[in-house]
Amino acid sequence: MSAAAFRAASDSAACAPGTPLYGEILAFLYYEAELLDSYRFDEWVELFAEDVHYAMPVRTNQVRSSGSGFQDMTFFDDNIVSLRTRVKRLATDSAWAETPPSRTRHFVSNVLVAPGAKPDEYAIGLNFMVTRTRSDHGYQMFTGRREDVLRRIVGGQFKIAKRRILGDQTVLTATNLSVMF
């Protein structure tokens, strides 16, 4: 969703900061960050819908005619099966990139909420910062924008139906991309 379209859609009074819906969504996002920072990956992956699309496109220094500055190529482009596989692998001795495990902190800010394309969905735009330290490797930081779609399911809970991670960096100097966003 373009910035102008997001601003127009977020004018909905029900999605405004300070409303019960906004608070509920913010609490969900904070809970997700806590799961990741507490190594509770099995619980984290259960926050995703079965039809989730979870992708991180590669940023370029050239802005194409679309104006996005992102390529069609991705660092990862996952569905629920590949997300579950990544999580299961973290619990094995084969996850060398995470031995010892990374210490992370996930921060979200500037959260905007708009009605989604379907009545039970919400478009979420937010800024993120993820910090990571591991073993004797240097301190690493990832920043950017995230575009999520949250879907309310039976029982009133949210599931993440879509996540697009738009990193600020054009060159990732991280030792690996085993961190979850």
Angle, CA of 31, 172 and 28, to the nearest 5°: 10
Q: What are phi and psi of 107, to 5 degrees?
A: -120, 140
* Contact predicate 44/30, CB 8 Å: no
**Cα separations in angstroms, 153 against 16, 48, 54, 144:** 21, 11, 19, 28
Which domains are delineated in the chain? 3-167 (3.10.450.50)
CA 51, CA 67: separation in Å to the nearest integer? 28
CB count within 10 Å of CB 17 equals: 11
pLDDT tens, N- to C-terminus, the chain (181 residues)? 555 555 555 556 778 999 999 999 999 999 999 999 999 999 999 999 999 999 999 887 666 555 556 567 788 899 999 999 989 988 876 766 666 678 899 999 999 999 999 999 999 999 999 998 877 767 889 999 999 999 999 999 999 999 999 988 876 666 667 788 8
Strands, E assignment, 30-157: 48-59, 70-78, 103-115, 121-133, 140-152
pTM for the predicted model, two decimal places: 0.86
* Contact predicate 113/26, CB 8 Å: no
